[in-house]
Amino acid sequence: MNSNDDIKIEEIINSDKLQYHEKRANLAREAENLLSYVDVSDQVKSAMKSGILHDMNEGNRPYRPRYILPDYKKFLEQGSAYLNIEPPKDFYEAVNALLILYRYVPSITGYPVYVGQIDDCLEPFADTVTPIELEKLMRMLLINIDRTLPSAFVHMNIGPKETRVGRLVIQLERELKKTIPNVSLKYDPDITPDDFAKYAIESALDVIKPYFVNHRLMSSQLGDDYGVVSCYNTLRIGGGAHTLCRINLKEISKSAENYNDFKENKLKDAVIALAELTNAKTKYLVEKSRFFESSFLANEGIIDLEKFTTMPAVYGLYECVEILSGEKMGHSEMANSMAEEIVKLFYDYIKSEPAVYCGGTEGKHGVHAQSNIDTDVDVTPGVRIKYGEEPGVFDHMLLSSKLHKYFDTGCSDIYVFEETAKGNIDGMLEIIKGAIKNGIRILSVNCESSEFIRITGYLVKKKDIERYFNGGLLREDSVVLGAESLMPGHLLDRKVKGLNGSVSK
Amino acid sequence: MEASVNRIIQSSLVDGPGSRTVIFMQGCNMSCLYCHNPETQNASPKAKHYSLEELFDLIEKHQDFIEGVTFSGGECTLQHEFIIAFYKLLHERTKLTLFLDTNGLVSSDIMIDLINHSDGLMIDLKAFSQDCHRALTYTDNSAVKENIRLAAQSGKLHEVRLTLVEDFNDDPDELSAYFDFVLALPGDTRLKIIPYSPFGVKGSFGHKRAYPKEKYDLLVAMGQRILKDRVLKVWYNWRK
Ligand code: SF4
């Protein structure tokens, strides 16, 4: 240990800003990083150094998967020997069992990124209590999640069927106006009743929750047992993602002599490095840290290594296209087709690289569009259009739909509507149906008057951002992330969709 | 045949039923003091020109997202020939609907033709009494009232629209005559009451304050006593 490490560790221990559990998490990270990095080639090291390849600061020696999606339903059916929990017999016991298990689900943040397909988990118990008890218990569950798992990457799923539990989640989240958990509604126009979809839209325009997930598209790629976790990652239930590393398309394009050089050489080299790093971390996690051998979740079948995969990702497509073509995505046919060509090429390249422990996506790497972290400057998340540069909303959606289909482990766009949308939910439903029909994978509709704002991939309260900049103490780690990513990403410039037409003719 | 267009808004949720694309036509036959789109009033070199096919292509590629189009303005009925031809094209090739947002100042022959070649109409009646209408728009409203009756009879009148301007067209007597007129129309014609806002307004009216909420609520309540749930409220939360 050198004296630099001493100082860092002392700083953490003596901080008057960090809570105890935050100190503990930071100390664990420092301890992990005292060891050398997992073994990688010089090519990988130099790609990381030049900013082309980025490991998301996951740490030097992975010892838990980045994202885990426990099969909560199975857990409720079988109980857990390790936790000494019998299969629950009523709603009370089921909620209690879930709350216990949440505390044992690791992830890169230390908090579970997935708290379950809650309607499938709890609806079977709904008849064991009165409607008043049902609402009370759901309220307690949601408040408990918000207070004990203070990370805006915590994600809950409902739908596509309408259930009492699903409806209560929407109703209560709208009423409680809290950030956690994120809620995604799996939406299929043939299964989800219009009335339920409209109920969800009204809520989304108010509190941004739920997001709408293209259930037909998702289930055709991952099967019905998929979940949406963290910031729009789509993975199999009972599985998860070992790691997420990403390449910066903007940086790659800067290193290319021309478009051909980009396609034939530079992108290819970056993908090779990306795959190598991804495999090295995954192998370390599985074979050296032996997570799947030691975890009771794996031993009891609540997770299954076979259902896990990796999530090599891209970001900065917007700038990449701008550099290579001199034109702007969303505003030029040429830029749009270049964007699609690049995404398809990335898909083909990464799918043909060797992959380890990727049973969750048929033995090949998962493909992901990463929606930025707080330290990114002047680079647009994933394959989105730069904030403030979006074209008309339908042109935007048509472009998204061409790009989204390649990202089987997740890709999303945010569409912001004016407040008048609240007065025309039927119209909003038409737009969402159009988006789903055209192959948009996940969409979140936001209203400009909403109290919440979606930072690149997660959700924070506008009030909390103000509080952060005024030096107040915050409970949620992601609010801190959010407030900082506001600055570099210019998020508040985001274009308001809808109309600004005449109010009187 | 070409349309002279001021601008197109792909996604609107306030110009007729459902999600619609709005085409703001260039040119108007009124000169309302409170006009929010004064740049659409006269012919302009900035206007874009679209052939039927060009406009159709723009609309068609978004047809999964919309219920239809709304021609607004300016005054769309000035370009009635284009609209009628567009209606035929739209109905031949898509399931989309065509709505008109008009000030109603057009001959009854043309109005009947337009009623037959549209799926719905929103017509402004900017003031009830002739004096008030003249003061506000420099035009008569007898044709407007007649056209509103024709549209109501056809069953295609989606709504009548009134923008309340403080101390101009909001006198209780004036309004009660207005409400009675709507009540007497055939069908369950709805009346949308819109509070004036100064945004985008040029000239002396640009300095007028936004319509006060208390007054607005009072007058809407008065309308509701006569027209019941046929009154539609719109309140913009300007002071966010
Ligand atoms: S009718 Fe409409 S566009 Fe014409 S002047 Fe009046 S408000 Fe403006």
What span, in angstroms and rounded, lies between the C-alpha atoms of A354 and A56? 21
Mutation test of the interface with chain A: which of B14, B161, B237, choosing the one with the most A Cβ atoms within 10 A? Answer: B14
- Read off the pLDDT of residues A465-484 as tens digits, 9 standing for 90 and up: 555 555 555 555 544 444 44
CB distance A424–B72 less than 8 Å? no
CA B199 to chain centroid = 18
Give me the pLDDT at residue A165, please: 98
CB distance B73–A397 less than 8 Å? no
- Read off the pLDDT of residues B45-81 as tens digits, 9 standing for 90 and up: 889 999 999 999 999 999 999 999 999 988 999 999 9
- Read off the pLDDT of residues A152-183 as tens digits, 9 standing for 90 and up: 789 999 999 999 999 999 999 999 988 889 99
A3-7, A262-266, A330-334: least confidently modelled range: A3-7
Q: Considering the domain boundaries, does residue B238 fall inside one?
A: no
What span, in angstroms and rounded, lies between the C-alpha atoms of A356 and A182? 30
What span, in angstroms and rounded, lies between the C-alpha atoms of A306 and A362? 9
Q: Considering the domain boundaries, does residue B45 fall inside one?
A: yes
What span, in angstroms and rounded, lies between the C-alpha atoms of A423 and A319? 36
Q: Is A18 helix (H, G, I), strand (E, B) or coil?
A: coil
A100-114, A311-325, A466-480: least confidently modelled range: A466-480
- Report the helix count and the strand count for chain B, using DSSP H and E: 7, 9
In the structure encoding, which two tokens stand for residue A455, read together? 């930072």
| CATH code for the domain of B30 | 3.20.20.70
Domain ranges in chain A are 67-236
Give me the pLDDT at residue A494, please: 39
CB distance B66–A434 less than 8 Å? yes
Mean pLDDT of chain A: 87
The residue type of A237 is: I
Find the helix or strand (DSSP H, E) in which A242 lies.
none
Q: How many C-beta neighbours within 10 Å does residue B215 have?
A: 13
Confidence of residue B143 (pLDDT cuts 50, 70, 90): very high
- Read off the pLDDT of residues A391-432 as tens digits, 9 standing for 90 and up: 988 999 999 999 998 999 988 877 877 777 888 999 999 999
In the structure encoding, which two tokens stand for residue B135, read together? 């003061």
Mean pLDDT of B196-225: 86
Q: How many C-beta neighbours within 10 Å does residue A12 have?
A: 17
Give me the pLDDT at residue A57, please: 87
Give me the pLDDT at residue A83, please: 97
End-to-end CA distance of chain A: 73
Taking the centre of ligand 1 as the mean of its atom positions, its distance from the CA of residue A426, in whole angstroms, is 28
pTM of the predicted model, to two decimals?
Answer: 0.86
Give me the pLDDT at residue A15, please: 87
Alpha helices (H) along A60-214: 72-78, 91-102, 118-122, 131-148, 164-176, 194-207
State the sign of the Cα–Cα–Cα–Cα dihedral B49, B55, B61, B62.
Answer: positive
Residues of B in contact with A421 (CB under 8 A): 13
Out of B11, B65, B101, closest to residue A498 by CB: B11
Q: Is the pLDDT of residue A121 over 70?
A: yes
Nearest to B148 by CA among B138, B139, B158: B158
Give me the pLDDT at residue B106, please: 97
Give me the pLDDT at residue A475, please: 52
In the structure encoding, which two tokens stand for residue A341, read together? 């060509």
Give me the pLDDT at residue A106, please: 93
Q: Considering the domain boundaries, does residue B62 fall inside one?
A: yes
Residues of B in contact with A428 (CB under 8 A): 13, 19
- Interacting residues of A10 by C-beta distance below 8 A, sequence separation 6+: none
Q: Considering the domain boundaries, does residue B239 fall inside one?
A: no
Instruction: Confirm whether the ipTM is greater than 0.90.
Output: no
Mean pLDDT of chain B: 92
A382-386, A445-449, B190-194: least confidently modelled range: A445-449
Confidence of residue B40 (pLDDT cuts 50, 70, 90): confident
CB distance A393–B197 less than 8 Å? no
A286-300, A441-455, B73-87, B219-233: least confidently modelled range: A441-455
**Domain span at B183:** 2-233
Find the residues whose C-beta lies inside 6 A of ligand 1.
A 505; B 28, 30-32, 35, 37, 40-41, 73-75, 103
What span, in angstroms and rounded, lies between the C-alpha atoms of B122 and B158? 6
Domains in chain B, number: 1
Closest residue in chain A to residue B20, using alpha carbons only: A427
